Structures are given as C-alpha cells and as structure tokens.
Amino acid sequence: MNVRSWEQVGLDPRKAVAFTFGVAASFFVLVVAIGEELGVGSLAFVLAALAAAGAGYLLSTAPRRIVRVAAFQQTLEAPAFAAASNIYLKSTSSRSKTFLALRAEEPRLGSFLAEVRRRVLLGYDASSATQGAQPESHVFSESVKTVVDSLVGVDGARVEEGSDELDGILNSSGLDEETKMPLLIAVSFFLPIMLMLFAATTKETGYAAMGALVVLEVIVLDLTLAISGSSIKWGGQKA
C-alpha cells in the first residue's frame, strides 16, 4: 500500500487502512456465508479468501490508480497546456496574468489552477501562488510539472520576449517515456485470452480456479497501469 498516494488524494492513511481491512473481512464473511448456504463445503473458505484478497487489493491500490489515471489525462493535455502557457506569457508579458488565463479540462489540474488564480487575485506572486496551491496533490504529470516550473522560473527580464524555455518543451520522446500506452493496450487485449487458454488446457474450470484467474488478471492489469505511468517528484518526494 502506497501511503503517499492516500495523502495525495486527501485521505487519512490510518483510517484508510482500517477501512480496507474492514471491507476485506466483510467480503470474507459474506462469501463464507453464501458458500455455506450453497453447500460448497471447504471451497467456500478458498473463495472467501480470494474475494477478501481481491477486495483488499483493489481498495488499497485505489488511490494509486486514481493518481495514475489523473497523470495520464494530464499528460494528454500537456501539449495544449504548454502551448497556451507560452501564448499567454508572450501576449501578457506577465506570469501572474498567464496563470489567470490558463484553464485545464482534467479536474485536479483545473482545481490547482483555480487555487492559483485565487491566490494571485489575493496579491501573491506567481511563485508563492503555485507553492501555496499544493501542486504535489494536484499535478501528477511530469510534462505539466515541467511547464509549471518553467513558467514560474521565467526570468523577469525575458518576459517581454516570451519564454524560450517553454518552446518545444514537450517533444515526442518525452511523451513516449511518460505514457507507455501501447504496453497497456497489448496487455489488456492478450491477457484475458492467455488466461482462458490456460484454463482450457489445464481443464481447471471450477469456481476456485476461475476466481483465481480473475484475481490474477486484475492484479496484472493494475500493475501494468502502474508501469505505464510515470512518477514525478515535488520537493524530493515521488508523486
């Protein structure tokens, strides 16, 4: 369980752990009770253990999954975000006015920009406004983080000419490193086929075997989603 991910989505880690164990235990008891009613015998405990493990895993990794999905969406939006930042900076010659004009479709990035705008209107400079808006809890894409850092770090004397640091900041190789989408697509397509072939060749079609294959598929897909994303650092900590 990644405690950092729980903090990023605004949840208390200790309460989240207690809730996860509670849900897993509830699934175990529920499946055992259903198994006893159906008369499957000791198989009920095997199925209950699989159900509890699956529920616990899905809940404990849910924050990480939320962060990864948000990072992926922000990465898709990053080229337009960088272009808009550069255009606004060149037209306004002001970092604060640039942040006031910037918008984003991804909810967490949009929330971050809204908080930055609020702080700018209260009189904070661009650097203080971005730091006070807690980017580590909203910006999960390395590409977007690079744009924000470059925009904040523009030298005042060069604002009149625009930011050369924002020009070409998102090249194709950088996006390839951050989003390994082909890997996720390939695994999502071939994994169910391979698992069904495995079940057919081994002739394991019982409830326990099929349940184990489903849990294995969920875990492998979740790990693939984690590998397909990228980790960024805010203040020396991985996001």
- Burial class (CB within 10 angstroms; exposed 0-12, middle 13-18, buried 19+) of 173: exposed
Identify the three-state secondary structure at position 71.
helix
What pLDDT, in 10s, does the model give residues 179-237?
Answer: 556 666 777 777 777 777 777 777 766 766 777 777 777 777 777 766 665 555 555 44
Nearest-5° angle of CA 69, CA 170, CA 148?
70
Residues 158-175 have a mean pLDDT of 48
DSSP string over 22-63: HHHHHHHHHHHHHHHHHT-TTHHHHHHHHHHHHHHHHHHTHH
Structure tokens at 92: 């306004």
User: Nearest-CA neighbor of 125 among 138, 116, 137, 113?
Assistant: 116
Residues whose CB falls within 8 Å of the CB of residue 81, separated by 6 or more in sequence, listed in order: 102, 104, 109, 144, 147
Poorest-pLDDT segment among 8-22, 110-124, 125-139: 8-22
**Percent of the chain surpassing pLDDT 90:** 14
Q: Are 170 and 82 in contact (CB under 8 A)?
A: yes
CA distance 126 to 88: 14
What pLDDT, in 10s, does the model give residues 12-29?
Answer: 778 888 888 898 899 899
Which residue stretches of the chain are H helix?
3-8, 13-38, 43-60, 62-92, 95-101, 107-121, 126-132, 142-152, 172-178, 181-202, 207-228
Pairwise pLDDT comparison (233 vs 64), residue with the higher score: 64
Pairwise pLDDT comparison (3 vs 199), residue with the higher score: 199
* pLDDT greater than 80 at residue 166: no
* pLDDT greater than 60 at residue 239: no
* pLDDT greater than 60 at residue 149: yes
Per-residue model confidence (pLDDT) at position 193: 79
The mean pLDDT of the chain is 77
CA distance 17 to 56: 9
